Structure 1
Amino acid sequence: MKISKLSPNFEVRDIRKSVEFYTQYFGFKLIMAVSESQDGVDNVIHSDKEYVYAMLQQDAVEIMFQRSDTFKTDVAFSEGLPIGATVSFYMEVEGIQNLYQSLKNEKLEITELQKTWYGMQEFYVKDLDGYILVFAEKAA
């Protein structure tokens, strides 16, 4: 078996708000969005539509968002589970100081930037639905 990529699919309350959060704060770009009618794919989020799915990308990282009601229908094991995760999504970045400085004064749940015992500089951010994002860079 060969695994070629891993793309997390986050169960979210509001596609539009999640897309805005990830594009504004982390530079992700919208690849595609699917409206409630599920009759096609949009390359931009339209103000007159409600969405059930979106895919975003930043360099080699791809993430998907699926609205909670459709996620619960599609992902059998999710029934009865809360939104959020007991897992962190660890992303190695370049320019962690600049990223941290750009986020630390925003109204985000964010930890201090710190050097770890294993030689990385990293910080954690909690997104709108409780998912934990970790940004890390090898310490100088």
Structure 2
Amino acid sequence: MTVTSATPVLMVEDVGRTVAFYHDVLGFAFVVGVIDGTRESVTVWPAPAPLAFAMVQSGQARLMFETRASLAADMPRFAETKIGGSLILYLDCDDLDALYARLSEHAPFLKAPHTTFYGTRECSFRDINGYVLTFAESAVKTIPTPETPA
């Protein structure tokens, strides 16, 4: 067996507020949502009614958000589970400095951009639900050659 993809489902209290943050602040595209209390799918943002579920995407990264009530209806153990928690979403990006400059206006960083011993530059902050997002890019910059344009 080979796992071909992983898309986390993050429990949140307010899907619309979460999508707005990921869309407006982080630049994720809205893919699809499900209207709360129905099975009606929507593909336009902002959604015409409160959402129970949504998926957003940036490049190859996809994240799903679902309300506590919706998750608990399917898996009762989520009714009392804390939102946020001991999870770090590690997201590769292509311009860490620009991302840091843009996000610094919206949220305090847990870690400012720094170079790691394993060859990446990273920074971390907490989203509006308490999830930790670590953005990373290669610390090794390639020098353009005639064969590899800038």
Q: 1:130 to 1:53 in 2, by over 3 A?
A: same
Can you give the 5+ residue segments of structure 2 that lack an aligned partner in the other structure?
141-150
Match of 2:11 in 1: 11
Q: How far 1:40 moved relative to its partner?
A: 1.6
TM-score, length of structure 1 as denominator length:
0.91
Q: What is the aligned partner in structure 1 of residue 145 from structure 2? A: none
Question: Displacement, 1:37?
Answer: 3.2
- The answer as to 2:49 corresponding to 1:42 is no
- Deviation, 1:131, is 0.5
Unaligned runs of 5+ in 1: none
Deviations 1:73-115 (A, max 9, x none): 22344343201120201011111111111111x1313131111
The answer for the alignment partner of 1:107 in structure 2 is 106
1:1-140 aligned within 5 A: 1-46=1-46, 49-104=49-104, 106-110=105-109, 111-140=111-140
When residues 48 and 42 of structure 1 are mapped into structure 2, their CA distance, relative to the original with a 3 A threshold, is closer
Q: Per-residue deviation at 1:2?
A: 1.8
Q: 1:52·1:66 contact (CA, 8 Å) conserved in 2? A: yes
Give percent identity, aligned residues only: 26
Q: Find the structure with the greater CA-based Rg.
A: 2
Number of corresponding residues: 139
User: Is the contact between residue 120 and residue 138 of structure 2 (CA under 8 Å) also seen in structure 1?
Assistant: yes
Aligned CA distance change for structure 1 residues 47 and 2 (closer, same or farther; 3 Å): closer
Distance 1:74 1:127 in 2: 25
**Deviation of 1:39 (Å):** 3.5
SS of 1:113's equivalent in the other structure is strand
Q: After TM superposition, give the deviation of residue 120 of structure 1 in Å.
A: 1.0
C-alpha RMSD of the superposition? 1.6
Change (3 A) 1:61 1:48: closer
Q: 1:47 to 1:87 in 2, by over 3 A?
A: closer
* Cα 1:112/1:56, change in 2 over 3 Å: same
C-alpha distance in structure 2 between counterparts of 1:45 and 1:75, whole Å: 28
